[in-house]
Structure 1
């Protein structure tokens, strides 16, 4: 392997042996279980780490999860569930007209300021100030309409 300090390798270092070992372990039979790094050694030199039992192989029961810990796929799907069917959205023009005007002003005034800055730099100062006031007033109105308290039973899943 490369040096533990993550320094550039010297010209004499070769990672070919490490690469060959990695490829050999990846091509090994996955049912045999993970191997220990010292498994290539003779039987007397084989690793005897915890959970290996002196055989040079890791005990597969070490990687099993506790039954109380469930993973994301450890459940049975409900086949009788019909699934979620959303309600029909309201028509576009059926909202509160004041709220629609506030959203239009809050988004349109900064865009108009950008267009003025690009194409008409000598626009009259009252127009610049007026667009700034409209954008701030619309943003303040929308901010004031935000809910102040969470409703009971509302988990936030619906917008």
Structure 2
């Protein structure tokens, strides 16, 4: 059963004339957007529509305040550019912090895998994983700095 409100348009429908006018304007030469392409006859105007006008090319230029980080040229000389320090080795971190991150991320993933593959896992295992995940998250939140350091603009992690 077809929807009676969704019938195909007839050839004399006003949407067809609007579509043909749009196609005609898009195929027009770049010099004059209102002039039809060669061999095309202009479509009849649609009642209530406004005749197309020339477009100001200044509309498509960016305002200096709206320019992005890639919209400028870099200077030729290097003006004291920032060189970051080498990161520390992977094994040189705080082992307790590494364990907390592993538990905070690993316990929820383990809970998800248990829910998918081993639904009849013992209840102490479920509760233990939830407690481990919550404890690791509390530990990580407790280690967050409480005050901003002087001269720190937040650019470094």
TM bracket (short chain): 0.5 to 0.7
Name 1:3's counterpart in structure 2. none
Query: Does 1:104 find its partner at 2:110?
Result: no
1:114-129 to 2 correspondences below 5 Å: 114-117=112-115, 118-119=117-118, 121-123=120-122, 125-129=123-127
**Which fold has the larger relative contact order, with Cα–Cα distance below 8 Å and residues 6 or more apart in sequence?**
2
- C-alpha separation in 1, matches of 2:124 and 2:53: 80
| Aligned counterparts, 1:63-78, within 5 A | 63=59, 69=65, 71-72=67-68, 75-78=72-75
RMSD value over aligned CA atoms?
3.9
Task: Tell me: CA distance 1:22–1:81, structure 2 relative to 1, closer, same or farther (3 Å).
Answer: farther
Counterpart residue number, 1:53: none
Q: TM-score, normalised by structure 2?
A: 0.60
Say yes or no: does 1:60 pair with 2:56. Answer: yes
CA–CA distance in 1 between the matches of 2:149 and 2:34? 56
- Change in Cα spacing, 1:115 to 1:58, as seen in structure 2 (3 Å) is closer
Aligned-partner Cα distance in 2 for 1:98–1:149: 23
Cα pair distance change 1:33/1:88, threshold 3 Å: farther
The equivalent residue for 2:136 is 138
Q: Provide closer, same or farther for how the CA distance between residues 116 and 27 of structure 1 changes in structure 2, counting only shifts above 3 A.
A: closer
Q: Which residue of 2 aligns with 1:22?
A: 22
Partner of 1:157: 155
Unaligned runs of 5+ in 1: 1-6, 41-48, 50-55
Equivalences, count: 136
Shift of 1:88: 2.6
Structure 2 unmatched ranges of 5 or more: 36-41, 43-50
Query: Could you tell me how far 1:107 is from its partner in structure 2?
Result: 1.9
* CA positional deviation for 1:68: 6.1
Distance in 2 between the 1:131 and 1:33 partners? 70
Instruction: Compute the displacement of 1:102 (Å).
Output: 0.7
Q: 1:46-96 CA deviation, whole Å, 9 max, x = no partner?
A: xxx9xxxxxx85473763769765533653322324866543322111101
